[in-house]
Structure 1
C-alpha cells in the first residue's frame, strides 16, 4: 500500500491507524506526485490511499510496476464528493471520510476493496442521494430499464453492503448477487459499484 496525504496532522493520524490494521503489511508514504509515480513504477501496489486535496483526476490512470491499476481509496475532507473526482478517468474504488477515520473503518474498507467491493460510508451515500433533489441533476435523468431484482439490489449497493450481506438480506446466493451486480454495472455503463451508485442517483433510480 502507498499513501499520498500531504496534510501533516492527517498523515500522522493515518499512519497511526494503518499501523494497527492487520491487513496492512507494508506502507509507503509519499510526499508528492513525483514520489508517488516513482514508487508506483518501482513496486507492485495493491491499494493507493489519496486525499482528495492531493488527487489530480486530469493525470490519468495511475499504474504500478506491472502496469496494473491499484485500487484507489479516496480520503474525503467531508461527505461531499466533487463532480471533478467522479468525472475523472480514475473513479475511486472506495471512500473514507476524515471525521470517520478509525482503525475499524479503514480495516472494513480494505477488506471490501480487496475483494472488489466498494466501501462507501453512509454519510457519503446520503450526500450523493441528496443530489437527486437538485434541479440540474433532474434534467439529466434518463430511463434505465431494470428488473425487479436489480431494483432491489441497487439501493443496497448505495448502502455500501457487500455481496454476502445482500445475499443474506435477499435469501439468495452470493454468486447470484454477483450476477445481478454485473448486470447493473452493464446497464448503467459503470466501471465499478461506486460509479453505478452515482449514475443511479443522477438518474433518479434510487428512492429514499
Structure 2
C-alpha cells in the first residue's frame, strides 16, 4: 500500500481517494493521472482488499476507485474512519456491464470504461461525484438502453407518477448527461436540473442516478 499526497488540490474541492486496480499498466497510468488531478488531495494505492480495509480504518476516504474484477454488488465495502461509506467509482473492462453489478443494494456511484480512460475522463468523473452526480460514459448508457430493448426482454410498465419534465430529465439521465448538460439541453438552471433529478431518485426509490436509470428501464419508463 502506498499513500501519495498530491501537490495541486483545488480549494474547497479536495478529495481523498483510495484505489484497488491490480493491473500493473493500468495502475501506473492511474497513479500518474491522480497525482495531477486538481480535485484530489491524497491518494492511497492498494494491492488487495486487506490494504483497502486498513486505508479506510486509517483515514477518511471520499472515493474508492475499483476495477470491476475486485467488485461485486454485495462486496460489503466497509465504512471509513468517520463511519461513512466511500463512494464507489468502478472501472469497467468494456461496456459489457454485468447486470449483477447493478442488482445489489449499493450499486456503484460512478463508472469509467477502460478503453476510454483518459486524464480528462478521470478528472470529470471525480468532479461529478464530488458534486453528487453519477458519471456514466455515453457508450455504457447506450449499451444499457439497447440491452433493455432487446428481443425477449419483458417489461411491465408501472406508473411512477412522473411529470412531463421529469420524464424529459429521465431520458437525459439515460444518455449519461450531467446536471449542467441537462440544464443546457432543457434551457433551465443547474439548480432546477438538480432539483428534478433529486425528485426522480425519490419517486423511483433509487439511491443514485445509475440505479434510477436501471429502475426506469425495468419499469418500462424508458424505451429505446
Please state which band the TM-score falls in when normalised by the shorter chain. Answer: over 0.9
Q: Point out where structure 2 has 5 or more consecutive residues left out of the alignment.
A: 1-16
Q: Say which structure is richer in helix.
A: 1
Match of 2:52 in 1: 36
Match of 2:3 in 1: none
**Residue 141 of structure 1: how far off its partner (Å):** 4.5
More deviation, 180-189/90-99:
180-189
Work out which of the residue numbers 123, 126, 129 in structure 2 matches 1:107.
123
Work out which of the residue numbers 131, 146, 149 in structure 1 matches 2:162.
146
Match of 1:2 in 2: 18
Whether the 8 Å contact between 2:73 and 2:106 is mirrored in structure 1 is yes
Q: Distance in 1 between matches of 2:199 and 2:38?
A: 34
Matched, 1:174 2:190: yes
Matches within 5 A, 1:1-208: 1-135=17-151, 137-208=153-224
CA RMSD, 1 decimal = 1.7
The aligned length equals: 208
Q: Point out where structure 1 has 5 or more consecutive residues left out of the alignment.
A: none
Whether the 8 Å contact between 1:138 and 1:203 is mirrored in structure 2 is no
Whether the 8 Å contact between 1:79 and 1:127 is mirrored in structure 2 is yes
Q: TM-score, normalised by structure 2?
A: 0.86
Q: Distance in 1 between matches of 2:77 and 2:25?
A: 28
**Residue 167 of structure 1: how far off its partner (Å):** 1.8
Whether the 8 Å contact between 2:91 and 2:112 is mirrored in structure 1 is yes
For residues 15-42 of structure 1, give each alpha carbon's deviation from its aligned partner in whole angstroms, at most 9, with x where no partner exists. 1222232222211111111110111011
Q: TM-score, normalised by structure 1?
A: 0.93
Q: Distance in 1 between matches of 2:30 and 2:139?
A: 20
Q: Distance in 2 between matches of 1:173 and 1:184?
A: 17
Whether the 8 Å contact between 1:131 and 1:201 is mirrored in structure 2 is no
